Amino acid sequence: MTIGLQRLLAARGATLPVTDAGEAAVRAPRVGNRALFGGLALLTALVVVLDFRTGEDLRLVPLLVVVPALVSVFGTIRQTVGVSTLIMMVVVGSHLATDGTFWEITTGIVVTVLACCLGIGACVLRIRHATEIARLRSAAVALQRQILRPLPILTDQVLAHGIYTPIEEDRLVGGDIYEVVQSPYGTRVIIGDVQGKGLAAIGAGFAVLGAFREAAIREPALTGVVDALEDAVARHNVFSAQTGETERFVTALVLGFDGSDRAQAVNCGHLPPRLLHDGAAGAVPLRRTFVPLGMAELSCEPRAAEWLDFPPGGTLLLCTDGVTEARDASGAFYPLDARLGRWAERAPYEVLEALDADLDSFSGGVRRDDIAALALRRAAADDLGRPSDGGHGARRAAEAFSGR
């Protein structure tokens, strides 16, 4: 699977270094050589003294053969080889210094050499396995980053800044998604979170992104876009069931902007947006929250769009639950609304920078979930130094979809 992901990344023009930060961390020593070998010298000296005091009735030095096995659990290959060599010299020397029979001495030496070799072999296998896991993890995260567009994104209606921090642990890699699409009907934005973790969650997220990029340009109504996303998740779940994977749902917030002081929103079980304006910050009250994508058959109520305020100079903050469910050392959740009030006067990218730094400080650098956040502000003509194209590119794309 690692090779397949690497080939896909190569096809998309992405590069994956042979030895990245994850692999370097796997190969890095967890205990310094000075501490390791200093502790080993003290332990060996203690055991030798005790062995000398107990005499021939109780031999303690041969028990040192378990040390290489212990070091193989946390040490590097070089450290394990060094420890095994020292232990082998001490234990073999101890056997040779005894008055035992030839077969007793020979058996003791063979057992010592075998135990040290097994410790080295166990260390090699552990590091090899951990390296493969690190490569798979890096490939998954790199693929996730390649599918999601880089930020910021400028359209005719909005300027979208954002942060995206995937957790680089194979069993916790999530399916946080976002996208901003210019269409003939305005700008469409989605932020979502796939239920569950792992590569299967990423696959469901990609299915939603592909459907959104197409439907956002094709569908005149925002509810039509959401219906297309529902169909995409349902089809993906059918395929997942056929291949033995778990069916998943996706929480999502879909927004539509037409350049006015208001925006449309359809909330499919996601966190409500936050509005920062005139020195105040708070959650935007959405009257209706619908079931997540992939669960429409469980509800009799069709999804509908509602309007929310998007005043000039205001910033809409959209985020996934990796933000609100971040915890500190005591287990308390991150107080998002309380913290946003401190940054209500800042520019969107400054809000995101402050949020990212504050989350890292609050959680002590321990991230348990992906973090995705978008800060949206109405676009100005001089944003990013690029003038608006009046939506001509979006109209050409819509004509291509309609076959004209």
- pLDDT tens figures, 92-119: 887 787 767 788 778 888 888 898 899 8
Angle at 356 between CA 352 and CA 361, to 5 degrees: 145
| Residue 152 preceded by cis peptide, ω within 30 | yes
Q: Is the pTM of this model over 0.85?
A: no
Choose between 192 and 112: higher pLDDT. Answer: 192
Average pLDDT over the chain reads 81
**Which segments within 139-214 are labelled E, that is strand?**
153-154, 158-165, 176-183, 186-194
Q: Can you tell me which residue has the tokens 């079931």?
A: 291
Angle at 121 between CA 118 and CA 123, to 5 degrees: 110
Q: Give me the pLDDT at residue 10, please.
A: 41
- Give yes or no for residue 23 having a pLDDT over 80: no
- Give yes or no for residue 191 having a pLDDT over 50: yes
Residues 210-240: pLDDT tens digits? 999 999 999 999 999 999 999 999 999 998 8
- Tell me what the mean pLDDT of segment 135-142 comes to: 64
% pLDDT > 70, the chain: 80
Confidence tier at 391 by pLDDT (50, 70, 90):
very low
Gap between the Cα atoms of 362 and 173, Å rounded: 21
Confidence tier at 333 by pLDDT (50, 70, 90):
very high
Q: Give me the pLDDT at residue 195, please.
A: 85
Q: Give me the pLDDT at residue 140, please.
A: 59
Q: Give me the pLDDT at residue 141, please.
A: 60
Helix (H, G, I), strand (E, B) or coil at 264: strand
- Tell me what the mean pLDDT of segment 329-351 comes to: 92
- Give yes or no for residue 395 having a pLDDT over 60: no
CA dihedral 68, 71, 72, 78 (to 10 degrees): -90
- Give yes or no for residue 398 having a pLDDT over 60: no
Q: Give me the pLDDT at residue 137, please.
A: 65
Helix (H, G, I), strand (E, B) or coil at 111: helix
Q: CA nearest 162: which of 307, 320, 293?
A: 320
Q: Give me the pLDDT at residue 58, please.
A: 65
Other Cβ atoms within 10 Å of 175 Cβ, number: 28
Confidence tier at 68 by pLDDT (50, 70, 90):
confident
